[in-house]
Amino acid sequence: MEVLFDLQHELNTLDLNSSNLIVPAGDNPPTLKVSVVDDVRTILVKDRPERVSGLGINLKELSGLQPGDRITVTGRIPRETSPGSWGVALIAEQTDSRKDEECQLTMQVSPRALFSLNHILGEDDLQSLLMVQTTRWGATDPVMNFNIDSILISHSEKINNFTEDPRKTVYSFEIDEELVAGDANPGGFATNVLVQSGSPGIKILQKDGRKQLYLSERGRDFDGVDVNLGALGLVKGNKYQITVTGRTVGNAMRGAKITLQAIPGFSWRAGESIEVGGNFTLIHMLTFAEVTQWKTARITTNLQGASVPFYIHGIEVKRLGLL
């Protein structure tokens, strides 16, 4: 393994005031300061006025990068962070796409509260600014300070043997030509990619200038829509993200959630609490191993939301890069 950049090695001489590689990031950039925590030299990211203010890694300034190189970022949140949820993410500025994230739901925050982010760089990343910031779904304190202990960028011949999927958008509901406005077929709603789950009423609407799915007459928590991941030709060694957006309608029991989950089984599940008339965004990053094991992603609700109708405005599967 060839090391292209090692923050711990560079911190002895790195001048954050003049660095073009490690920079404050976001519309309202924070302050970056070298500090010592637990006898480790780190970069303190402080004075963050908003969630997206963070630390940037300007890959354009690093020579010798190739697709397949790995970036690993490790750090910590403050010991005094309140119990609850926190999360950090590695995000590409140009596309606002998540490369990796780590989230923790806890009743007792770890005294060290460490996190680690990993990403294999794709062709698009080589000219990007990657940013470490708080996850979009927030945290106990979305503008909390955090420390970056290490940034390691390395080259591995083994990783470079993977083939990068040339597609950026693998599937988009908006441009799926099999879906046209009207009621679903009486024999069942099915396309090459989208398949009816259970027996909800499904209509394909053209509303507000965009195509939408409307799911009604739901009585069970599995009445929804399945995304047939096996039909998408996902490429081994690549990382993908599925994003679902929509809006709920009608009444909901306490604890009702709209969910995106793996079928068969529930190895992962993204969910949002239902508010009547509330918009939702469900996101999950798929590894190839997950796609191999779980062939389907289901858009539905938990048991408490079994009768809730909802609209689906968008379903997208995008390629993020190599694993």
Between CA 305 and CA 200 the distance in angstroms is 13
Q: Indicate the pTM of the whole model.
A: 0.64
Report the SS3 class of residue 174.
helix
Nearest to 274 by CA among 242, 241, 311: 311
The CATH number of the structural domain formed by 2-161 is 2.60.120.260
Torsion angle of the four alpha carbons 274, 284, 112, 17, in this order, in degrees rounded to the nearest 10: -110
Same fold, 2-161 and 169-322: yes
Q: What is the pLDDT of residues 150-163, one digit of tens each?
A: 999 998 776 666 77
Residue ranges covered by each domain of the chain: 2-161, 169-322
Average pLDDT, the chain: 83
88-117 pLDDT, tens digit each: 888 888 777 777 777 665 444 444 577 888
Q: Give me the CATH code for the 169-322 domain, please.
A: 2.60.120.260
